């Protein structure tokens, strides 16, 4: 079963008398354990599409099914629950909580969103920190680690709930070349290990070179879909 | 919930200086209120004690209409033997009553054989009066304090002693009209000089009740008032209500009430001062509420504004709106708890220090009164609950704003 199914998806923003059609009737399907990117110039609708998929914003019309659930008409509370259960987020600015340690940041979704029992939660966090190579940094605060390490922690936080889908908005924009490559490889490795679908919105050619499917957006419409089996590793 | 408390605590200590300043403001408010309550309460208790224990007693019973004409000290409105017996019967059956004293109040001419002036007198049974107004003997500035007074003796107020140049041991004459209008005189020896205090009866002289009966040619049992002392002044409302019910229902042959019952509160003007103190306490509490409301709301609005991006993050990763709301409300709650805990501790220590150092003060003509502030657990709990509740209420609006924030807008916030 496809992890994302979008049919005639439309998103229109209204500001006074002005209507802006950010997404204009797009159709696409994304299969489980895919490594997918949406590319396009600024204003093409990449971030809007990611927000729709991430259940952060409801579409104006069309159908959108994520992880087998129709998410078009979810209430605020249900949308939050759905995100907590199914979707992980990786942000451009890492967005770790500064007052929590690395361990606690990864633990946050299990503790505050999913209410996992303590022992099970701790084991899961330790496993996830080990998977992203941050086991020995758990006690540190975000301000005490590098940008690359922060993004690794963010990846761990996104995956810790066994999310079916990780949405990453420009995840390498604030990283140097070497660190960006390392983070991309890490995410790919995580995809292989946990069979999680990764969907990116990006300008970064390093990501585009590594994804298996690329959707190109322009003016809110899908212009092109490219498939490259397995992506270009490295 | 423990996780929310942990996160809220960490967030509070993220801005240590701001949290400390706000908590100190709350602390200052709590200290002001608790110290005001304790000091004013102590002052009030002391003054009430002075008034009831050295003059009025807790409750007074008179014949109906006596209080309306008390300035004239009317002798034709005294309680008669049967009426006294009825009151005694009721008082004896009431466990809350510790003791009572019968008094005849009269006006007389006071002569030192060269000059004459008016004097108001309380004629009492010494042992009953000492039990009912135990601080009366403390008001004797000069002279023997033992057993208060004997027949043939008089305690005169210090103003008359000074004005008439009378000393302890001097002889004087009292001349009084009885209720029929006939005049009688009697010699007395000045046993002591009585300190004057504010309030009704505070500048009256004292003689033995038997002398008053002789002077006024009263043959039967007759008194102007019955002053009652309760075992516990806190029982005043209940005992008063009970006496009102029992005595107020008694009617004479014309169907008019026979008795009137008054608490010290309705007799002494100090009760209005006590009420003003209560009113001031209330307004100070309102000020405290305003301080807490404004300071916490200000801090929480700032906290939400500074953490918009963070709110967007936690909302995006699935934190339910009610948990985001709780997070900020708990921050306000903790700040209230911190300020209140500090304030209560400082207040209790200050009250203990004031008691140890024995601060004295003057009130009216009374000097050297010892301030012994105390505070009841109810007052402390009330202030603590008010402050914490207001802290929570003040956090609600910013917390609600945070909980309702659109994650996309919040994540875009720089």
Supply the ipTM of this predicted assembly.
0.87
Residue from B11, B314, B318 whose CB has the most chain A CBs within 10 Å, to mutate = B318
Does residue B230 form part of some domain?
yes
DSSP secondary structure, B220-278, as one string = S-EESEEEEEES-GGGHHHHHHHHHHHHHT-B-TTS-B-EEEEEHHHH-THHHHHHHHH
Q: How high is the pLDDT of residue B399?
A: 93
Closest by CA position to B57, among listed B164, B168, B201, B156: B201
Residues B276, B386, single domain; the answer is yes
Nearest to B407 among A56, A113, A158 (CB): A56
Same domain, B34 and B109: no
What's the mean pLDDT when you consider all of chain A? 87
Q: Do B14 and A91 touch (CB under 8 A)?
A: no
Containing domain of residue A188, as a range? 37-52+75-227
Contacts of A112 in chain B (CB under 8 A): 3-4, 7, 314, 319, 323
Mean pLDDT is highest, among A18-22, A118-122, A200-204, B193-197, for A118-122
Domain edge (last residue) among B234, B257, B280: B257
Q: Looking at the domain assignment, is residue B24 inside a domain?
A: yes
Give the Cα separation of A168 and A142 in Å (integer): 19
Q: Tell me, yes or no, whether B230 and B338 share the same domain.
A: no
One domain, residues B138 and B187: yes
Cross-chain Cβ contact A109/B318 below 8 Å: yes
Per-residue pLDDT at B363: 64
| DSSP reduced 3-state for B322 | helix
* B263 is a domain residue: no
Each residue of B307-320: b (16+ CB within 10 Å) or e?
bbebbbbbbbbbbb
The total number of structural domains that make up chain B = 2
B8/B128 same-domain check? no
SS3 call for A141: coil
- Give whole-number Cα distances, A118 to B3, B370, B399, in Å: 11, 59, 27
Q: Are residues B136 and B44 in the same domain?
A: no
Say whether B367 sits in a helix, a strand or coil. Answer: strand
Residues B120, B220 within the same domain: yes
Closest CA of chain A from B289, distance in Å: 31
B310 touches chain A (CB under 8 A): yes
- Identify which of A95, A98, A112 has the shortest CB distance to residue B319: A112
Asked if residue B45 and residue B71 are part of one domain, the reply reads no
CA–chain centroid gap for B397, Å, is 39
Percent of chain A with pLDDT over 90: 28
Q: Based on the fold, state whether residues B109 and B228 are members of the same structural domain.
A: yes
Q: Domain boundary at B213, B229, B257, which?
A: B257
Q: Is B377 helix (H, G, I), strand (E, B) or coil?
A: helix
Which one of B223, B257, B291 terminates a domain?
B257
Residues 81-100 on B with a CB inside 8 Å of A are none
Closest-CA residue of A relative to B405 is A76
Q: What is the pLDDT along chain B (414 residues), one digit of tens a residue?
A: 788 898 888 988 888 888 888 889 899 989 988 998 888 888 888 778 878 888 889 999 999 888 888 877 888 888 998 999 999 999 999 999 999 999 999 999 999 989 999 999 999 999 999 999 998 888 888 888 888 899 999 999 998 999 999 999 999 999 998 888 889 999 999 999 988 776 666 678 999 999 999 999 988 888 999 999 999 888 999 999 999 888 888 888 888 888 999 998 888 877 788 888 888 888 888 888 888 888 888 888 988 898 898 899 999 999 989 899 999 999 999 999 999 999 999 999 999 998 898 888 776 556 677 778 888 899 899 989 998 999 999 999 999 999 988 888 888 776
* pLDDT tops 70 at residue A231: no
Q: Does A74 touch chain B (CB under 8 A)?
A: no
pTM: 0.74
The string of DSSP letters for B15-48 reads: THHHHHHHHHHHHHHHHHHHHHHHHHHHHHHHHH
* Residue among A49, A33, A35, A37 at smallest CA distance from A1: A33
Q: What is the mean pLDDT of the segment spanning A109-128? A: 90
| Inter-chain CB proximity B321 and A100 less than 8 Å | no
Looking at the structure of chain A, the number of domains it has is: 1
Q: Which two tokens stand for residue B219?
A: 């043959």
pLDDT at residue number B365: 56
Q: Identify whether A64 is part of a domain.
A: no
Of the partner residues A54, A80, A91, the one whose CB lies closest to the CB of residue B319: A80
The radius of gyration of chain A from alpha carbons, rounded to an integer in Å, stands at 17
pLDDT for the residue numbered B132: 93
Q: Say which CATH number the domain at A193 has.
A: 3.40.50.300
Q: How far apart are CA B395 and CA B403, in angstroms?
A: 12
Cβ B321–A76 below 8 Å, yes or no?
A: yes
Q: What whole-number distance in Å separates Cα of residue B190 and Cα of residue A226?
A: 121
- Please check whether residue B339 is in contact with residue B24, taking contact to mean a CB–CB distance below 8 angstroms: yes
Domain assignment present for A197: yes
Q: Name which of B313, B314, B320 is nearest A81 (Cβ-Cβ).
A: B320
Distance between CA atoms of B36 and B285, rounded to whole angstroms?
10
For residues B155 and B208, is the Cβ–Cβ distance under 8 A?
A: no
B277 in the same domain as B398: yes
Q: Is residue B265 part of a domain?
A: no
Quick check: is A8 in a domain?
no
Residue A232 pLDDT: 46
Question: Which residue, among A141, A139, A106, A99, has the nearest Cα to A124 in the 3D structure?
Answer: A106
Range of the domain at B141: 65-257
Q: Would the pLDDT of A233 be above 50?
A: no
């Amino acid at each position: 079963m496809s992890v994302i199914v979008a049919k005639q998806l439309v998103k229109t923003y209204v500001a006074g008398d002005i209507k802006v059609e950010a997404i204009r009737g797009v159709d696409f399907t994304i299969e489980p354990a895919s490594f997918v990117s949406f590319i396009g110039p600024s204003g093409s609708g990449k971030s809007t599409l990611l927000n729709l998929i991430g259940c952060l914003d409801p579409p104006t019309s069309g159908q959108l099914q994520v992880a087998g659930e129709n998410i078009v008409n979810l209430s605020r509370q249900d949308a939050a629950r759905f995100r907590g259960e199914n979707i992980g987020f990786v942000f451009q600015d890492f967005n770790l909580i500064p007052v929590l340690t690395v361990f606690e940041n990864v633990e946050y979704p299990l503790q505050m969103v999913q209410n996992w029992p303590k022992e099970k939660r701790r084991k899961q966090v330790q496993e996830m920190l080990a998977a992203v190579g941050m086991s020995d940094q758990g006690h540190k605060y975000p301000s005490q680690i590098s940008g690359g390490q922060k993004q690794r922690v963010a990846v761990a936080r996104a995956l810790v709930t066994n999310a079916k889908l990780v949405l990453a908005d420009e995840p390498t924009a604030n990283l140097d070349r070497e660190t960006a490559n390392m983070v991309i490889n890490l995410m790919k490795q995580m995809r292989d290990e946990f069979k999680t679908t990764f969907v990116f919105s990006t300008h970064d050619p390093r990501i585009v070179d590594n994804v298996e499917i690329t959707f190109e957006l322009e003016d809110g419409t899908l212009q092109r879909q490219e498939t490259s089996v397995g992506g270009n590793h490295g | 919930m423990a996780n929310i408390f942990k996160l809220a605590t960490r967030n509070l200590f993220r801005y240590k200086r701001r949290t400390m300043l706000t908590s100190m403001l709350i602390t200052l408010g709590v200290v002001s209120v608790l110290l005001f309550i304790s000091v004013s309460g102590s002052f009030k208790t002391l003054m009430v004690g002075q008034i009831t224990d050295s003059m009025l007693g807790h409750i007074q019973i008179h014949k109906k209409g006596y209080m309306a004409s008390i300035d004239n000290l009317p002798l034709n409105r005294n309680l008669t033997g049967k009426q006294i017996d009825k009151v005694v019967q009721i008082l004896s059956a009431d466990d809350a009553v510790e003791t009572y004293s019968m008094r005849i109040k009269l006006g007389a001419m006071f002569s030192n054989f060269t000059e004459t002036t008016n004097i108001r007198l309380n004629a009492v049974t010494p042992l009953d009066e000492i039990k009912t107004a135990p601080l009366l003997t403390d008001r004797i500035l000069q002279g023997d304090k033992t057993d208060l007074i004997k027949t043939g003796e008089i305690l005169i107020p210090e103003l008359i002693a000074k004005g008439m140049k009378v000393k302890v041991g001097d002889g004087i004459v009292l001349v009084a009209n009885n209720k029929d209008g006939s005049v009688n005189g009697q010699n007395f020896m000045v046993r002591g000089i009585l300190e004057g205090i504010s309030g009704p009866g505070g500048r009256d002289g004292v003689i033995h009740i038997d002398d008053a009966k002789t002077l006024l040619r009263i043959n039967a049992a007759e008194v102007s008032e019955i002053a009652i002392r309760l075992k516990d002044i806190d029982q005043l409302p209940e005992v008063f209500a009970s006496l009102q019910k029992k005595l107020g229902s008694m009617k004479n042959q014309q169907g008019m009430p026979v008795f009137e019952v008054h608490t010290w509160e309705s007799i002494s003007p100090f009760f209005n001062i006590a009420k003003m103190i209560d009113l001031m306490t209330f307004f100070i509490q309102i000020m405290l509420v305003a301080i807490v409301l404004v300071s916490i709301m200000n801090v929480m609005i700032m906290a939400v504004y500074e953490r918009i991006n963070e709110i967007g993050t936690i909302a995006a990763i699935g934190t339910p709106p009610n948990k985001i709301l709780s997070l900020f409300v708990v921050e306000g709650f903790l700040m209230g708890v911190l300020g209140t805990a500090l304030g209560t501790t400082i207040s209790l220590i200050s009250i203990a220090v004031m008691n140890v150092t024995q601060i004295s003060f003057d009130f009216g003509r009374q000097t050297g009164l010892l301030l012994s502030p105390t505070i009841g657990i109810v007052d402390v709990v009330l202030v603590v609950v008010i402050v914490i509740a207001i802290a929570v209420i003040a956090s609600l609006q910013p917390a609600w704003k945070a909980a309702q924030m659109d994650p996309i807008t919040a994540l875009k916030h720089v």
